[in-house]
Amino acid sequence: MAILSRLPKTPPEDPTFELYRKVRQITGYTGGYEAGLVADTPHRALLKVLQELDVMPFSNRSVTRYKNLMILKQHIKCIVAITVPTALALTVLIYGCVAGSTLIALSFIVPIVVAIVAGVSSYGRRTSFEWRTVMLCNYMSPVPDFALQTVVDVTEKLAAEKGARPTWHIDYLDRVVSPHPDPFLVVGYDGFLYYLEVWNEPKFKQKRTV
């Protein structure tokens, strides 16, 4: 998951904060300076807490790249599920015809054709892959302990320092046979979402890897 990268830690006293804030306020431009969002109230409160807990959010650009890559992988899996049986069926048929055993070749091809039809049908039902965000309380699959610990740490620290309470979400790739590949843990605050954790499915490790 090297494609994912976290925002750099920036000291709160960094004078560039004010520059980021003004440029974004005037033009809406954030460019490569996503860390400058820390200067915006009330986001600064949340990002300050995340920095102190050593769990800076993933950059928006890397999350977008990662999501697109996951969708591409799912399409490739579906295509392979169709092309491999097709290639095998043609190979068996050609070999049977050359060897003069067409009947035997056809007996092998029938189950392969059934597999191809099933693969095409499955691909047709799952070509519209999309990322979907749900509240953590509505997510039915397991969440690793390190991600749950992040939920507790951030919620408690933000409540203690600012009297605020964030919302928690899971962002996962929909239209995929369960389990969902590499979901994100997302924190919501003042209308914005920050991607904090990600894990491999189905055999995730009980520790942060990115």
CA angle, 58 as apex, 53 and 59 as ends, to 5°?
130
- Residue pair 168/149 in contact by the 8 Å Cβ criterion: no
Among 33-37, 93-97, 165-169, 172-176, the range scoring the smallest mean pLDDT is: 33-37
Strands (E), the chain: 130-135, 167-174, 184-189, 192-198
pLDDT at res. 38: 45
Query: What is the 3-state secondary structure of 122-152?
Result: HHHHCCCCEEEEEEHHHCCCCCCHHHHHHHH
Supply φ then ψ for residue 4, to 5 degrees.
Answer: -85, 140
Q: For the chain, what is the largest distance between any 2 Cα atoms, rounded to a whole number of angstroms?
A: 82
pLDDT digits 0-9 by tens, 59-106: 888 999 999 888 888 778 777 766 766 666 667 666 666 666 656 555
pLDDT at res. 156: 95
Q: How many helices (H) and strands (E) does the chain have?
A: 5, 4
